[in-house]
């Protein structure tokens, strides 16, 4: 099983930006934890981060050509306004779980809306990096045994 973990704008600054909100661990630390967890589940994970909307869309389309089985996506602030990302998620027909480190519903009003979540299988927010691990389990449950 192949999953892609995709991080959007500013997530490369995790550990530096607003540590009270996003924690002190870097994105590299978080990716290592995800990779270790995925390994215990026999899932091969790839990682991609970009601050650019178009690059994220290109990467989502690449996931289609690479026949990725599931996607874990933290779209960062694009969550709140990127219809292009919404369309890209829908276009590729790969089960996608939206993850946010913070609980976006407890924060500024503009963060309460996700325009991308409706294109996803579901959304996990407010669990910090554990959200990415829960997303792996959610995708595995959703996909079920492959080739069964
Ligand atoms: C975030 C929440 C977004 O509102 C914010 O713009 C981010 C990070 C999160 O992981 O909590 O960049 O996606």
Q: What is the pLDDT of residues 76-99, one digit of tens each?
A: 999 999 999 999 999 999 999 999
Domain boundaries, the chain: 2-143
How does pLDDT run across 12-66, given as a tens digit for each residue?
Answer: 999 999 999 999 999 999 999 999 999 999 999 999 999 999 999 999 999 999 9
- Cβ 97 vs Cβ 73: under 8 Å: yes
> Closest ligand 1 atom, CA of 78?
6
Query: Which of 73, 98, 102 is the best mutation target for the ligand 1 pocket, counting ligand atoms within 8 Å of the beta carbon and taking the most?
Result: 102
Closest alpha carbon to 76 in 52, 108, 47, 94: 52
Pocket of ligand 1 (CB under 6 A): 10, 74, 76-77, 79, 100-102, 104, 111
User: Vertex 114, ends 113 and 116: CA angle to 5°?
Assistant: 160
Residue nearest to atom 9 of ligand 1 (CA): 100
Q: Cα–Cα distance between 79 and 90 in angstroms, integer?
A: 14
pTM above 0.95, yes or no: yes
Q: Please tell us whether the domain made up of 2-143 is placed in CATH 3.30.1180.20.
A: no
Residue nearest to atom 6 of ligand 1 (CA): 77
Residue nearest to atom 12 of ligand 1 (CA): 76
Is 116's pLDDT higher than 80? yes
Q: Cα–Cα distance between 129 and 30 in angstroms, integer?
A: 6
Residues assigned a catalytic role: 22, 100
């Amino acid at each position: 099983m192949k999953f892609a973990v995709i991080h959007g704008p500013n997530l490369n600054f995790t550990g530096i930006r607003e540590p009270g909100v996003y924690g002190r661990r870097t994105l590299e630390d978080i990716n290592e934890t995800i990779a270790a967890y995925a390994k215990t589940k026999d899932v091969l994970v790839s990682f991609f981060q970009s601050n650019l909307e178009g690059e994220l869309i290109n990467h989502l389309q690449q996931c289609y050509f690479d026949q990725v089985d599931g996607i874990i996506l933290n779209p960062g602030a694009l969550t709140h306004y990127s219809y292009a990302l919404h369309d890209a998620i829908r276009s590729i027909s790969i089960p996608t779980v939206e993850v946010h480190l913070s609980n976006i519903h407890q924060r500024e009003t503009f963060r309460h809306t996700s325009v991308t979540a409706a294109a996803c299988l579901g959304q996990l927010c407010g669990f910090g990096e554990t959200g990415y691990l829960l997303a792996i389990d959610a995708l595995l449950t959703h996909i079920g045994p492959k080739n069964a």
